[in-house]
Amino acid sequence: MIDGDRRKAEILKALQQAEKPISATSFAKEFGVSRQIVVGDVALLRAAGENIIATARGYLLERESTKLISKIAVQHSPEQTAEELHTIVAHGGEVIDVVVEHPLYGELVGGLHLTTQQDVEAFVAEAKRLEVTLLSELTAGIHLHTIAYEAIENLTEIKQALSEKGILYEENRHV
């Protein structure tokens, strides 16, 4: 078993080389430690200034992007989650996060980093498997997504498609 400093260096190195998220469980198996030890290592790396993002599928190192970024407001039932996410990705968007406004904590943000239809399927399957409450359920389905996209046309297409599905939150909409 390697010591904590070397383990943290190896975690950081793996994240720098990774194209996809790496789970704490994967790191734990690799280093022969508990998942909680890895979670602590990552917390220490983040506290030291490393831009490590925790997603539902594992850890990522945040990288500079040339993509455009916008927030969109949406509202839908939990059953429409897959449809919403698939729509955004199908029109060239990356779903970076979900944001809800909580009465006690203020803004709550959940990292998603969904870039492919397979990412969406994996997220939806994991939510179902874990039987968790989605953040959007805390706010009657109203939430924001930060999305990244290549061209303004992508944003226009995403909004139009979501509007046609009744998912885009619009001023005169009553649910």
According to CATH, the topology of domain 68-165 is Histidine-containing Protein; Chain: A; (3.30.1340)
Instruction: Return binding residues.
Output: 76, 84, 143, 145
Report pLDDT for 65: 79
Tokens of 49: 């200034």
Q: How do residues 30-43 score in pLDDT, each as one tens digit?
A: 999 999 999 999 99
Q: How confident is the model at residue 171 (pLDDT cuts 50, 70, 90)?
A: low
Q: What is the pTM of this model?
A: 0.78
Distance CA 73, CA 76 (A): 10
> Concatenated DSSP letters for 39-92?
HHHHHHHHHTT--EEEETTEEEE-----SEEEEEEEE--GGGHHHHHHHHHHTT
Q: Mean pLDDT across the chain, nearest whole number?
A: 92
Report pLDDT for 19: 85
Q: How do residues 48-107 score in pLDDT, each as one tens digit?
A: 999 998 887 889 998 877 899 999 999 999 999 999 999 999 999 999 999 999 889 999
According to CATH, the topology of domain 4-61 is Arc Repressor Mutant, subunit A (1.10.10)
Residue 174 has pLDDT above 70, yes or no: no
Residue 38 near residue 136, CB atoms below 8 Å: no
Distance CA 93, CA 42 (A): 28
Angle of CA points 28, 52, 110, to nearest 5°: 95
**Number of C-beta neighbours around residue 146 at 10 A:** 17
Report pLDDT for 63: 81
Distance CA 94, CA 72 (A): 12
Residue 142 has pLDDT above 90, yes or no: yes
Instruction: Return binding residues for Ni(2+).
Output: 76, 84, 143, 145
Report pLDDT for 30: 94
- CATH 1.10.10.10 positions along the chain are 4-61
Report pLDDT for 1: 62
Report pLDDT for 173: 53
- CATH 3.30.1340.20 positions along the chain are 68-165
